[in-house]
Amino acid sequence: MVADTKPDCVIRRAVGADADRVTECIEAAYRPYMVRMGGQVLPPMTVDYAKEIEESEVWIADLDGDLKGVMILSDGEGKLQIANVAVHPASQGKGVGKRLINFAVEEARSRRRDAVDLVTHPLLEENLSLYAHLGWSETRRDESHVYMTRDLI
């Protein structure tokens, strides 16, 4: 496990006590996209994050006890999957998303994975732009999904 220990922000595994703050962060991050998508409730907004923290690999970006962002990882065959990245609106545009994504890449390298994959929605244009800027490549697309990868070899 690789830990980010820069004094301005710490990326650490979420614990049960973080569940309410994780839920609030994800709901706040996705709420503007609901409007863009005609009121559609996005899947990350319906997850039981207490259970997710217990059963999955949930990471948070924390600054002095204030949760700035959340990332959920899934380890697979030769690849690490970013299942979700959400940055609280008050922290967007400040590098939190980039730090979380770069953390996932470094975590994949430390686990000797060949790539990191993620899936996003085509209407989340800001995210697509960020991922492309950070070296991700689109591998395929359909009506509601954009599949992206970042090769590490």
- DSSP type of residue 98: H
Q: Which CATH superfamily is domain 10-151 in?
A: Gcn5-related N-acetyltransferase (GNAT) (3.40.630.30)
* pLDDT value of position 7: 47
d(CA 64, CA 46): 28
* pLDDT value of position 13: 98
pLDDT digits (tens, 9 = 90+) for 105-124: 999 999 999 999 999 989 88
pLDDT digits (tens, 9 = 90+) for 62-97: 988 899 999 999 998 889 999 999 999 999 999 999
- DSSP type of residue 4: B
Between 71 and 1, residue with greater pLDDT: 71
d(CA 75, CA 122): 24
Assess contact for 70 and 45: CB atoms under 8 A: no
pLDDT band of 6, cuts 50, 70, 90: very low
Environment class of 124 (CB within 10 Å of its CB; exposed 0-12, middle 13-18, buried 19+): middle
